[in-house]
Amino acid sequence: MSTKDDQKPILTVQAEASSRSASSSTGLNPQTHLHHLSFWQRLGQSINLVGIGLFLRVLFGKHQWALPHVSVPSIAWLDWEALRRAGFEGCVFDKDNTLTEPYANEVAAQLLPSLRRCQQAFNGRLVLFSNSAGLAQFDPQGKQADALEVALGIPVLRHREKKPAGAAADLEAHFGCSSSKLIMIGDRYLTDVVYGNRHGMLTIRPTPLTTAGEPFAVRMARDVENFFVKRWRGQGNTAPTHPMARKPEALYSFVADNKIALW
Ligand SMILES: [Mg+2]
């Protein structure tokens, strides 16, 4: 028998998420952190005016934009082969707290095997879409982007607008396909998830790796996001229906072993 919960295309495993978060915060390696970001760059990363405007749109109607299709404790839980079989053609990754700890320039060790599986499944069709490296405003020469490409082994998208603003043209040009065939993976509801859903992408939200090292404004923004996302889900809102994953079962199949689909 189908219940209301069966219809919610959101996967969460909170206990596992918090234990992983705790262990990762203790494994912070200060040697890997980028210290050359100025105060203004960090502040700029924290305050996103266009993002605030889009937040108001989400707040006053487009609740669905903030809700990911799939939530997982980390990308290690994803079945990349299943996502590829479903017809998706490329993966767009946020950086901080999705692949790396905040401001770090190496992939968190516990995520490396999953990232390598992703690269195999998608034949290298991955890109990093950051609100710092590769953004013309903060990285006009692309030096951070160049350094990250070497450090992470993933191409870094050069772009002019911060998530959640901006069109998908740069991404579509990079991958040579419609944004609806791309997967957006990022930890922030109001940047990564809103951006992806605005452009018809499949949105996957991993729990942030750690809040250690994050600016105060980002932590506050997370609290605001979490409050509203919980409220909107409680009201029965779900992510926009994706044409390549219309049923909850399809979304479950994207999680490794299909067995951690706890509500
Ligand atoms: Mg992030």
Distance 107 CA to ligand 1 centre (A): 13
Decide: 131 and 217 in contact? Cβ < 8 Å: no
> Tens of pLDDT along 209-247?
998 888 888 889 899 999 999 999 999 999 999 999 998
User: Rounded to the nearest 10 degrees, what angle do helices 39-46 and 216-234 cross at?
Assistant: 10
The reported pTM is: 0.81
Peptide bond into 113 cis (omega under 30): no
For residue 70, the SS3 value is: strand
Residues 6+ apart with CB under 8 A from 170: 157, 158, 159
For position 37, what pLDDT does the model report? 60
Decide: 100 and 107 in contact? Cβ < 8 Å: yes
Distance 102 CA to ligand 1 centre (A): 8
Distance 206 CA to ligand 1 centre (A): 10
Distance 2 CA to ligand 1 centre (A): 35
For position 248, what pLDDT does the model report? 86
Which tokens hold the place of 144? 């951070």
One-letter amino acid for residue 48 of the chain: N
For residue 15, the SS3 value is: helix
For position 73, what pLDDT does the model report? 92
Residues 6+ apart with CB under 8 A from 211: 21, 25, 219, 222
From first CA to last CA, the distance across the chain in angstroms is 17
Characterize the bridge pairing of strands 70-72 and 202-206: parallel
Give the Å distances, CA to CA, from 55 to 49, 96, 163, 225: 10, 20, 11, 10
* Cβ neighbours, 10 Å, residue 43: 12
Distance 35 CA to ligand 1 centre (A): 18
How far out from the chain centre does Cα 22 lie? 20
Q: What structural domains does the chain harbor? A: 14-258 (3.40.50.1000)
Low-confidence stretches of the chain (pLDDT < 70) are 1-48, 258-263
Distance 4 CA to ligand 1 centre (A): 31
Give the Cα separation of 258 and 61 in Å (integer).
32
Give the Cα separation of 196 and 210 in Å (integer).
22
For position 262, what pLDDT does the model report? 37
For position 249, what pLDDT does the model report? 87
